[in-house]
Amino acid sequence: MLLIRFVHFLGMALWIGGMVAAMVLSVSARSATGAERNAAFRWAGRLYSLVVGPGALLTVVTGLVLTMSLAQRAGSQVMAQPSIWVMQVAGLVAGVLVLFVALPTSTHMARMADAAADGELPPAFGGMRRRLSMVVHVVAVLVVLSLFFVVVM
The confidence score (pLDDT) of residue 30 equals 83
Percentage with pLDDT > 90 across the chain: 68
Taking each helix axis from N to C terminus, what angle separates 53-74 and 2-31, rounded to the nearest 10 degrees?
150
Rounded to the nearest integer, the mean pLDDT of the chain is 92
Rounded average pLDDT over 44-54:
96
Residues 43/25, Cβ–Cβ less than 8 Å: yes
Parent domain of 18: 2-151
With 0.85 as the threshold, say if the pTM is over it. yes
The confidence score (pLDDT) of residue 118 equals 74
The tally of CA atoms less than 13 A away on the side-chain side of residue 131 is: 17
The confidence score (pLDDT) of residue 124 equals 92
Q: How many domains is the chain partitioned into structurally?
A: 1
Alpha-helical regions (H) of the chain: 2-31, 35-47, 53-74, 76-79, 82-97, 103-115, 124-151
The confidence score (pLDDT) of residue 31 equals 86
Q: Which of 14-18, 20-24, 75-79, 112-116 has the lowest mean pLDDT?
A: 75-79
The confidence score (pLDDT) of residue 33 equals 81
Q: How long a stretch of residues is the chain?
A: 153
| More confidently predicted of 72 and 4 | 4
